[in-house]
Amino acid sequence: MAKSLLSIRGVSKNFAEVEALQEISLEIYSGEIVGLVGSNGAGKTTLLRLMAGVYKPSSGTVVLSNGEPVMNMRHELGVVPESTGLYSRLTAWENIRYHSRMHGVKDSIAWARTEKFAEHLDMKDSLGRHTKGFSRGMKQKTALLRALAHGPNILLLDEPTAGLDITSARTVRALVRQLRDEGGTVIYSTHQLAEAQQVCDRIVIIHNGEIRADGPPQHLLDETGTESLEDAYVSLTLDQARTRKEDNAKESAFTGWWRRLFTPKTPPTTQEVIESE
């Protein structure tokens, strides 16, 4: 039986009067791609942020396999947020190196991992280019390399192919499957049912802050007596989707720091990064 890497136990998350998540319990096992599927406002991004240690649960726990709260062990995670937050004045490699150093990873180790995955993403020749002129796809690939460079046990992806062209999206999906085949664990948040069915070994459907289904795509079809994942989703989410409100809540000091880390207003210069060596 696969080892449990991440446990979400009875987790609820409130934003003022809004209950974004209600008594969520979920186990993430080694070597699987888990799709978090739901509409806007369903709670999947909130759940992803709880898994990443960005949010603290209002109740319940989010712990890793050693029993430590995920907030204390964020180096075990690689996170690709929906907004890449790259430093435009830095090259792709400088962005990756800067992030890896924050995790205490030597440049030689980070470079070896970056070079390996850049080959698969057709990014190797672009690592020395400044990210300011990158396309959406190139920025997304750089963010993915940044998340992988420190060797995380779990990769968290928030809408990783949103806005990408067909070729770039296919490349990202292929790398995700490769990571799984090499024993990696990926949590893949998306609202695209076809993509989830194509990529994920297991699909967790979230609706109005609750888990409505959890299992392999074929299990969901059998459980609902439907022939397509779209029909299965509709049958499990017949009640009207709520309006998204959780992002209107006042952020905590840590959440503000995390947001500023990935969406800096004044990025450091290349010289500042070099001088930190």
Which CA distances in Å does 64 have to 18, 77, 107, 158? 27, 10, 27, 20
Q: What is the pLDDT of residue 260?
A: 66
Q: Exposed, middle or buried: residue 259 (CB in 10 Å: 0-12, 13-18, 19+)?
A: middle
- Give residue-wise pLDDT tens across range 110-128: 999 999 999 988 899 999 9
Average pLDDT over residues 72-79: 87
pLDDT at 86 > cutoff 60: yes
Contact yes or no for 31/1 (Cβ under 8 A):
no
Q: In one letter, which amino acid is 73?
A: M
- pLDDT above 90 (res 16): no
CA distance 48 to 187: 8
What is the predicted pLDDT for the residue at 17? 82
Which residue is associated with the tokens 């779990």? 154
Task: Say yes or no: domain 4-275 is CATH 3.40.50.300.
Answer: yes
Average model confidence (pLDDT) for the chain?
Answer: 86
The pLDDT > 70 percentage for the chain reads 86
Tokens 């490349």 belong to 171
pLDDT tens digit sequence for 186-239: 999 988 888 898 899 999 999 999 999 999 999 999 999 998 899 999 999 887
The span from the CA of 154 to the CA of 184, in Å, is 7
Domains in the chain: boundaries: 4-275
Q: For residue 244, is pLDDT > 80?
A: no
And the tokens for 140? 């997304």
Contact of 127 with 92, CB cutoff 8 Å: yes
Which pLDDT band, with edges at 50, 70 and 90, does 92 fall under?
very high
| Predicted confidence band of residue 246 (pLDDT cuts 50, 70, 90) | very low
